[in-house]
Structure 1
Amino acid sequence: EAALSLKRVAERFGEVVDISAYANHHAFSHLPSWVAEDRRERRRLDVLESKGVVSPSEPYVCSVCGRKCKTNLDLKKHFRQLHERERQKKLSRMKQLKGKKRQRFKERYLDKNYKYEEAARNLIT
């Protein structure tokens, strides 16, 4: 959003020919404390679920295909083994195609992939 706003402002002064952004490695490695704490808590809960100490009230459901899993770790494993692999196959297929075929392939498979993106955002991050 910020980059697009900057571009719009710059376009008022004339044609934008090139855009570059620079940042040091610390800019990408910083994690807010509340995010780190949430992840730590999730990891603790995952360990307890895998040991059988804690069981969820309802099973975890894959938001892409609807499969039910007993633990969050099982759901992550299912997602990585099935949906991530499937997505990588589609992306590599798209990289091989050129021109109109590539455009049609992208429209048919990747543009409608909002279910995958939403599930990946919730599970992986």
Structure 2
Amino acid sequence: MTDEVREAISKLLAEADFEERGIVEQVIKRAGLKPQPRRITSQDELAKLADELGVRLDWHEPDEQGVTARVEGYNLDNAGSWPKEDGRPAVEMCVIIRKGEDEVAAVNLATLLGWASADRRI
């Protein structure tokens, strides 16, 4: 797959809602490719993802909606590297959010910690 095609698919997935993303992912899978998780870079994007996944406001028991997660990477930093970028493993720690068997989103762990604590710091 060319870089242009990969970039076009990534852009389409980033702009798609959960249902549209499912359709695009099915096309990608039928083509023998593995879809990349959506990169969550803002709190608004995370809130939209939560709505699409159907999780509670406090994210309590997301497994009841078939949502799980894992952390990959080894460096707690948010300088801008992402998991599986150009086929390489993650360097920066990211939370990979899954719905069923599909990786639907990636959130940088250091960024997530910043969002959680920013309005409570002195």
Structure with the bigger RCO (C-alpha within 8 Å, sep 6+) is: 2
Q: Going by fraction, where is helix more abundant, 1 or 2? A: 1
- Normalised by the length of structure 1, the TM-score is 0.22
Which structure has more strand as a fraction of its residues? 2
Q: TM-score if structure 2 supplies the norm length?
A: 0.23
